[in-house]
Amino acid sequence: MAHTTTEDHAAKPIEVIVVDDDPMIGQTMRIILNDYSQQQVKVCATATSGPECLEQITAHMPDVVLVDIAMPSMDGIALTRAIRADGGNAPHVLILTSLGPTETVQRAVEAGAEGFISKTDAPEDIIRRIIGVCDGAPQFNPASERQLIADLHLQQPNARRQQARDLLDALPEREREAVMLAAEGLTNAQIAQRMFISERTAKAHLSAASDRLCMSRIQMARLVERADLQ
């Protein structure tokens, strides 16, 4: 699945699927994104359950999926894990919710989510986060960022640190370099500038590393932090 990036989302709208067990939320998000984004973002489908969302992903191949965290039968964490199972080829996932407890943030990130959107966010903030995640920048509000940073800086056992280092060492040099820069919070464009390559090549390195490690961008950042290479 080829994701829309900075280089082409002005010409081709970012396609989004919204999944929420309340159909009114899906319709509201469709109106907000389609009417306020100046054709930068387009809701191509909505769903009210995890299985329906997976069917819509197969049918529409979106760039981003907005996933409600609290749904019956298949909750947002399980759905995120299923969506991200294809690694770098999978659509980005942003959790659509109010900020939950620390455990929810951690579980969502571990499942492959790349950010959070509150249902009460202003339209321009929602659109900015969707565009941002397609540009390679994780999208967390300040509260969720504080929770993640606190978790990342917990002391890690030696065995986990060494395991993280081994995984990074197994990557080809350029892929590892791109992953390390991404872990600093750089966007694809910034990584490309630092590595003296094109933005598409930077994205390809990150996608290849994601596939090798079976991890999302956020999970790879956590891996770098756990390796403690500073």
**Over the stretch 38-82, which tens digit does the pLDDT of each residue have?**
889 999 999 999 999 999 999 999 999 999 988 888 889 999 999
Q: What is the pTM of this model?
A: 0.64
Identify which has the larger pLDDT, 86 or 63. Answer: 63
Q: Is 155-227 assigned to CATH 1.10.10.10?
A: yes
- When the pLDDT of each residue in the chain is averaged and rounded to a whole number, the result is 84
Q: H-helix or E-strand containing 117? A: strand 116-117
pLDDT at position 10 over 80: no
Give the pLDDT of residue 2: 46
> Coil, helix or strand for 73?
coil
Per-residue pLDDT band for 155 (boundaries 50, 70, 90) equals very low
Residue type, 13: P
Helices assigned H by DSSP within 61-156: 76-83, 102-111, 123-134, 142-152
Lowest mean pLDDT among 1-5, 68-72, 141-145: 1-5
The pairing of strands 92-96 and 116-117 is parallel
CATH architecture of 14-142: 3-Layer(aba) Sandwich (3.40)
Give the pLDDT of residue 105: 74
Q: Where in the chain is the domain with CATH 1.10.10.10?
A: 155-227
pLDDT at position 158 over 80: no
Q: Where in the chain is the domain with CATH 3.40.50.2300?
A: 14-142
Per-residue burial over 186-218, b if 16 or more Cβ lie within 10 Å, else e, is bbbbbbbeebebebebbbbbbbbbbebbebbbb
Give the pLDDT of residue 143: 58
Q: What is the mean pLDDT of residues 23-36?
A: 91
